[in-house]
Copies of this chain bind each other. A is one copy, B any other.
């Protein structure tokens, strides 16, 4: 096991009816900006629940945060925060609203061009405190320090991390997700699964508890994912999926182990260039990354085959192939396609993706820092 630091102070309020308890989590004298997305919260009752819970608080609203939230949109919210002396944010939505709210939180008092936080990893020194009411299980943003933001002008998709953007609290009420379209639920399953794989499917460092905890999430997603797709309002399967998605990226399975994340870095460019949903891009790239980098990942692929998929027959080669095939089949089974051609993307995207990664300096990705432009080409060719 590698040395590590772990610290995650986010308070989780999990379960039906928990939105009613948020008033106690926010200072009574706070001036709140409630951020949200395209307005689905006004159709599924979440908006009313939040307004009711905060009826004694001072609250104004900022809607319209897009999927892959736009820098340009968020900077409008930053102006409102400044004009209205907002001192607390409340993100009500999915990962894009949460990520966007994290960026608003740090951009308000940032000394300089806020885009530098994303493009140059410029250090942030302060953040406006915020809470989360999550309405889509997927990204884990509700319990971590990361955010991914897109500049619409040139479709540049960048990320930042800061311990200052841990949410103060996050409400996870599975009932708020009953009305989601199947595509978003499928995306969430693929996203949580891939987050786990980025931290688990590397090389062994003698960390059996972390391995088993990651396998616990993967197996539970394999088991509960199809159930929650088939029965959107079955509380238990939706709750189990929702908790998996949070646990997949709150740091607990990452402690003391190497991490990959090359699938995410390549996938971000497919989203930026071609508009694939984030999870669609992961579903396209992950199986190919596992195939192309199989030598680095051999021991873990065998362990994954046996423990997650129960594959213990055949040669090592056959077991590895079967595990990767099962991964692809699982994504397809919950409704997310896994080939570039499924999204109308041709191999002419490869030089574009590589050029963009090079422009960010991302020429040595993965747990061994050996995913170079040639590797990216192999991965995307295999994803055709």
Interface residues of A (CB under 8 A from B): 1-18, 206-209, 212-213, 215-217, 219-220, 223-224, 236, 239-240, 243-244, 247, 252, 255-256
Q: Return the 5 tightest CB-CB contacts between A and B, nearest first.
A: A3-B15, A212-B216, A9-B9, A7-B11, A206-B236
A270 to chain B minimum Cβ distance, whole angstroms, is 30
Q: What are 29 A-B residue pairs whose CB atoms fall within 8 Å in the complex?
A: A1-B15, A1-B236, A1-B240, A1-B243, A3-B14, A3-B15, A3-B16, A3-B17, A4-B12, A5-B11, A5-B14, A6-B11, A6-B14, A8-B8, A12-B255, A14-B255, A14-B256, A208-B219, A208-B224, A208-B240, A209-B217, A209-B243, A212-B212, A212-B219, A212-B220, A213-B213, A213-B216, A216-B216, A243-B255
Q: Is the CB of B209 within 8 A of A220?
A: yes
Chain copies in complex = 2
Contact residues in B for A219 (Cβ distance below 8 Å)? 208, 212
User: Which residue of chain B has its CB nearest to the CB of A239?
Assistant: B1
Contact residues in B for A213 (Cβ distance below 8 Å)? 213, 216
Q: How far is the CA of A13 from the CA of B8 in the complex (A)?
A: 13
With contact pairs A4-B15, A6-B12, A17-B3 given, residues A223 and B244 touching in the complex (Cβ less than 8 Å): no
Contact residues in B for A207 (Cβ distance below 8 Å)? 240
Q: How far is the CA of A187 from the CA of B156 in the complex (A)?
A: 55
Q: How far is the CA of A255 from the CA of B247 in the complex (A)?
A: 12
User: Which residue of chain B has its CB nearest to the CB of A237?
Assistant: B206
Contact residues in B for A10 (Cβ distance below 8 Å)? 7
With contact pairs A209-B216, A220-B209, A236-B206 given, residues A12 and B7 touching in the complex (Cβ less than 8 Å): yes
Contact residues in B for A12 (Cβ distance below 8 Å)? 4-7, 255
Partner of A14, one of B4, B16, B240, B247: B4
A1 to chain B minimum Cβ distance, whole angstroms, is 5
Q: How far is the CA of A89 from the CA of B252 in the complex (A)?
A: 27
Q: Is the CB of A220 within 8 A of B208?
A: yes
Partner of A15, one of B16, B208, B256: B256
Q: How far is the CA of A108 from the CA of B84 in the complex (A)?
A: 43
